[in-house]
Amino acid sequence: MKELLQEILEIGNSSLSNDQKHQKLSYLWTEVFQRAKEEDYDTIYNFYLMNEGTSFAIDQPPILKGVSEEAVEEVLKHYQECGYLMEEEATILLDFDLDQARNSFSKLGVLLETSSLNGYCELGQSLTIRPFEEAGFSVTKNTARDCFDYPSLHCFGTVTLPIFDGIKVEEKTYLLDSTYRQFFSTIHCNPGMYDAPLDVFLANTPAPGYFVKDTSFAKELLSNGYVELTKENARKYGEPFFLSSFTKGEVPYSRDDYWQNIMIKTSDYALEHLEGLTASFPSPTKKIR
């Protein structure tokens, strides 16, 4: 066990690319979990804490867009006058919203380039969904537990915006998940997780990222923090959470209710307030419709 953990440490500190690290570390972590004895658990857990952000199954750090408050004010002014948004205006609001949340993470000492963002989903939900709700847009506040039968909570949400395409106004819904990256850490995305001690790691299945098939979809959500919630994207997002709920030897069943569950199974914020960290759109500050 000591030799395996030492090799994990050396690879993590090496100059190998993310994909090279992921391939090697996935194998090594699988070996660790399969060989582990109870007396090894404390040491393994400490290594887990130190190496969670070493490599990722799909490596795409969050991208800050740098949208100005003035640009947001212009968008909201136009919406107040017309009652709809152009596609590019919706993008401005979404990018500004995600920038605020990610800058708040940075204020807590989180290094966006390397952090897995594990443990920040409740805060992320509040910081990204609340500004849209306070501005009068329709939102949902969701958990992967309620929507996909995922064993852990994981908070995310949606916002629905009226978009004018040049001919007619149609509502478009966007899924917002500012901490999606936590499900792609190599240490969680390997088959050895099926043998991980549940009482130590609070999971004994690979993370949802292990089951993601569409890399382009994942990278879009990882970089932007949001994606349009079509029924197909709802499946691409929700199905990996669902598959991650099945332990070793269990056989998943077929389902097709991901979009419906996201839109219907809404709840309240998991985190109401955190002193010093708030997010909102610039004026007008009152509800605009």
Q: How far apart are CA 145 and CA 151, in angstroms?
A: 6
Instruction: Fill in the amino acid letter for 24.
Output: K
- Provide the pLDDT confidence category of residue 144 given band limits of 50, 70 and 90: very high
- Provide the pLDDT confidence category of residue 283 given band limits of 50, 70 and 90: confident
pLDDT of residue 284: 56
Q: How far apart are CA 79 and CA 73, in angstroms?
A: 10
- The pLDDT of 66-70, averaged and rounded, is 95
pLDDT of residue 40: 87
Q: What mean pLDDT, rounded, does the chain reach?
A: 92
Q: Is the pLDDT of residue 181 over 80?
A: yes
pLDDT of residue 288: 47
Give the tens place of pLDDT for each residue, 20-61. 999 999 999 999 999 988 888 888 888 888 888 999 999 999
Among the residue ranges 44-48, 140-144, 148-152, 244-248, the one predicted with the least confidence is 44-48
pTM of the model as a whole: 0.93
Q: What is the DSSP string of 220-233?
A: HHHHHSEEE--HHH
> pLDDT > 90: what percent of the chain?
79
pLDDT of residue 275: 65
Segments making up each domain of the chain, as ranges: 58-274
Q: Is the pLDDT of residue 286 over 70?
A: no
pLDDT of residue 289: 47
User: What b-and-e string marks burial along 172-210, b requiring 16 or more CB atoms within 10 Å of the CB?
Assistant: bbbbbbbbbbbbbbbbbbbbbbbebbeebbebbbbbbbb
Calculated CA dihedral for residues 257, 262, 267, 270, nearest 10 degrees = 120
pLDDT of residue 273: 66
Residues 6+ apart with CB under 8 A from 53: 114, 115, 116, 185
pLDDT of residue 207: 96
